[in-house]
Amino acid sequence: MTRAEVQAWINELTGEGLAPPTVHHCYVALRKVVKHALWDRRIAFDPCDGIDLPKSQAVDDGELSVLTVAQAESAAAELANFKPYDVLVRFRAYTGLRAGEVAGLRVRDVDLAAGHVSVRQTAQWIRRHDQEVGEWVFGTPKSLRSSRDVPILDRKLLADLKALKMQHPRSGDGDALFWPGRTLGSHRADYDRVWDVATFRRNYFKPALVRPELPAIRVHDLRHTAASLWLAAGFLPYQVSRWLGHASVVATDTIYSHLYPTDYSQHVARSEAFALTSYV
């Protein structure tokens, strides 16, 4: 393994639409393996040295790439002829699930009676650095907090998910994947294929943003959209953190603190009450 091969792998992960933190996690995992190989004298140098990693999206200027509710609905409407991907756009914009969590979502995980989806399985396409072929690898979420229940707070989305679940060709199989992939060379939904974010982004999502002249956001930005809508609706940061599956509320605060509501009326009342008592 050479440094150039590691860099090419990192560039490929980035090109597939993985978020910078996810790419960093992959790099750290590889670097740990390389470290042990160095200790055991199986390799003579560290091919992970000097790798350029993608930078996390800057939010210091208070800007995040998100859609409004109207924009999310417009993007979904553009995919009305490619069902159920119209519902999928709204699902990601209103639940904030990661791509791997969407790909791994099973029929049993969509609990519509309880009004939530359970994140218990992920799916990732793994390709060896020296080969063109790869395979889908199913696993559990990356942390304890990533295993979570996410509420479905949009009534229309809840109704659409109920309809999809009833029409699912394997609705009686709780282990069946909920979202379909596409048959190669066509736009036909294929429930025997895993939903692939790279294919979805290229063939469906990016074109859906063009005609209504929506911002050229990434598919991952639908996750930011969900967070921004929750915070704008007044949900507390610790709730949003739980629903997003962040390791801690600190992560949520780092990314979204500029979106927190700024209603100081209670603070003013408390300050005035204190001032009055101090004069007595």
pLDDT tops 90 at residue 184: no
**Mean local confidence (pLDDT), 211-223:** 93
- Kindly give the pairing relationship between strand 122-127 and strand 116-119: unpaired
Query: Residue 61 has what pLDDT?
Result: 44
**Mean local confidence (pLDDT), 70-77:** 96
Residues 69-259, CATH architecture: Orthogonal Bundle (1.10)
Residue 58 binned pLDDT confidence (cut-offs 50, 70, 90):
very low
State the pTM of this model: 0.75
Q: Find out whether 239 and 229 touch, Cβ atoms under 8 Å.
A: no
Query: Residue 244 has what pLDDT?
Result: 95
Q: Which two tokens stand for residue 106?
A: 């099973």
Q: Which two tokens stand for residue 222?
A: 């639908």
Residue 60 binned pLDDT confidence (cut-offs 50, 70, 90):
very low
Query: Residue 102 has what pLDDT?
Result: 97
pLDDT tops 90 at residue 169: yes
**What separation in angstroms does the CA of 268 have from each of 235, 261, 271, 280?**
21, 15, 5, 19
Under DSSP, the state recorded for 204 is I
Closest CA to 208 of 98, 87, 118: 87
Query: Residue 68 has what pLDDT?
Result: 92
Max mean pLDDT range (9-18, 93-102, 178-187): 93-102
**Mean local confidence (pLDDT), 247-268:** 72
pLDDT tops 90 at residue 80: yes
